[in-house]
């Protein structure tokens, strides 16, 4: 029997990922099973298990394949190293999050969003799943860097927050989670918007940055936007 090339195996894996994506776009994730993927690919049960052991493994590889990855540590460190107004640094970190995390979440957002719902009662499974997503550590690193930067500027007396640091963190988390959720719902589910507003990523990130800076007691006029550079 001739030896199967790695290129052939890679193509088969991609075929399975493409079939899984097609199924996930048609059905809610909680209804998707390996049987659906097998049917979509046309492979036998034994054939598909040659490449993947379960649905979670397929979904992880699908999300990672569709994601654009960056050297986030380097980009964050560069943003922090420049002699710019703290308000501008905060804006850069939020814009960076939009590029390296939010765009990936929205890109495969239907799957990622529905995973959180499907696995909500199985914390171990959800955490295990997220731990294998390649861009997931970027978000943790970004927000840890932002929090440390803000804390340092408060200690130095540059920022004089109008609310407690705990309230500020809670506001930030719920705001970025809401932006992520609603962009996903708008793109993949046709979420209707009130008052015919335009639901744009750039405006949402910019508004969040201004709100964060104002709560810190900073000067929003010192925020330099990417298009102004």
Domains of the chain (ranges, CATH numbers): 6-64 (1.10.10), 69-228 (1.10.357.10)
Extract long-range pairs of 141-146: CB within 8 Å, 24+ residues apart.
Answer: 141/72, 141/73, 141/76, 142/72, 142/76, 142/93, 142/96, 142/97, 142/100, 142/101, 143/97, 143/172, 145/76, 145/80, 145/93, 146/90, 146/93, 146/94, 146/172
Residue 194, exposed/middle/buried by CB under 10 A (0-12, 13-18, 19+)? exposed
Distance separating alpha carbons of residues 130 and 101, to the nearest angstrom: 13
Confidence of residue 153 (pLDDT cuts 50, 70, 90): very high
CB 90 within 8 A of CB 146: yes
pLDDT for the residue numbered 227: 44
Per-residue pLDDT tens digits for 188-209: 887 776 666 777 899 999 999 9
pTM over 0.85: yes
Q: Is the pLDDT at 146 greater than 50, yes or no? A: yes
Per-residue pLDDT tens digits for 81-128: 988 999 999 999 999 999 999 999 888 888 888 888 888 889 999 999
Q: Is the pLDDT at 14 greater than 70, yes or no? A: yes
pLDDT for the residue numbered 229: 47
Instruction: Kindly report the three-state secondary structure assignment for every residue of 134-193.
Output: CCHHHHHHHHHHHHHHHHHHHHCCCCCCCCCHHHHHHHHHHHHHHHHHHHHHHHHHCCCC
> Which carries the bigger pLDDT value, residue 18 or residue 227?
18
Confidence of residue 226 (pLDDT cuts 50, 70, 90): very low
pLDDT for the residue numbered 225: 58
Q: Is the pLDDT at 43 greater than 90, yes or no? A: no
pLDDT for the residue numbered 44: 87
pLDDT for the residue numbered 195: 65
């Amino acid at each position: 029997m001739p030896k199967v090339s790695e290129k052939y195996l890679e193509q088969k894996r991609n075929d399975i990922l493409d079939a899984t994506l097609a199924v996930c776009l048609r059905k809610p994730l909680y209804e998707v099973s390996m049987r659906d993927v097998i049917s979509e690919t046309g492979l036998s049960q034994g054939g598909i298990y040659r490449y993947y052991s379960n649905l979670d493994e397929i979904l992880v590889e699908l999300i990672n394949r569709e994601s654009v990855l960056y050297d986030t540590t380097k980009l964050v460190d560069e943003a922090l190293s420049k002699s710019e107004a703290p308000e501008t640094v905060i804006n850069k970190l939020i814009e960076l999050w939009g590029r390296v995390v939010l765009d990936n979440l929205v890109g495969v957002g239907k799957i990622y969003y529905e995973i959180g719902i499907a696995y909500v009662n199985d914390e171990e499974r959800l955490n295990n799943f997220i731990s294998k997503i390649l861009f997931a550590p970027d978000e943790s690193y970004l927000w840890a860097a932002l929090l440390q930067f803000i804390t340092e500027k408060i200690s130095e007396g540059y920022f004089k927050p109008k609310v407690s640091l705990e309230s500020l963190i809670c506001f930030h988390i719920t705001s970025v989670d809401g932006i992520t959720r609603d962009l996903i719902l708008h793109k993949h589910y046709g979420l209707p918007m009130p008052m015919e507003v335009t639901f744009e990523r750039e405006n949402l990130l910019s508004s969040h940055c201004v709100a964060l800076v104002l709560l810190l007691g900073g000067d929003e006029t010192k925020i330099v936007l990417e298009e102004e550079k």
